[in-house]
Amino acid sequence: MVCLGNICRSPLAEGILKHKIRQRGLDWTVDSAGTGHWHAGEVPDGRSIAVARRYGIDITDQRARQFQPADFERFDRIFVMDTQNLREVLRLAREAEHRAKVQLMLDLTHPGQDRSVPDPYYDDDGFEVVFRMLDSACDTLFHD
Ligand code: 4NP
């Protein structure tokens, strides 16, 4: 799960997916990262922590980190939150096999529409909407 700062959207995506995985007793590896380094080491934004908590999910153990090229090897699928993240991550991909792992998160619910998860950083009311988008997108991962 990749966004810009790894403090708002992708920590929510990580927390939601891990929660669903736990509920189903699955053993998948999930992590999140930001294309930027500015917030590395920080806990998620308090507004992300709060919305997750309202849905019974604790994301306070997460710490932000920057996306690394090694992540292309570590993960089978890489979900990016918006088209800027998509460009940044693809810029780091050196192999077609790596590029093929990268996908917009909202392609899961709205295939082919190039939809982005809006950056809620400057919009206190955006976190609830973002949570619901990510929750629906994560649900689709269990359908196949
Ligand atoms: P995120 O949100 O990419 O969803 O973690 C942001 C967090 C911080 C900044 C931008 C977006 N920032 O500019 O510091």
Domains of the chain: 2-139 (3.40.50.2300)
Are residues 107 and 133 in contact, defined by beta-carbon separation less than 8 angstroms? no
Q: Is 119 a catalytic residue?
A: yes
The DSSP secondary-structure symbol of 66 reads: B
Lookup: tokens for 1? 């799960």
Ligand 1, pocket-test mutation among 1, 8, 81, most atoms within 8 A of CB: 8
Is the whole model's pTM more than 0.95, yes or no? yes
CB atoms under 10 Å from CB of 39, counted, come to 19
Q: Is residue 55 very low, low, confident or very high in pLDDT (cuts 50, 70, 90)?
A: very high
Tell me the CA–centroid distance for residue 15 and ligand 1, in Å: 17
pLDDT at 144 over 90: no
Q: Is 9 a catalytic residue?
A: yes
Indicate the SS3 state at residue 103. strand
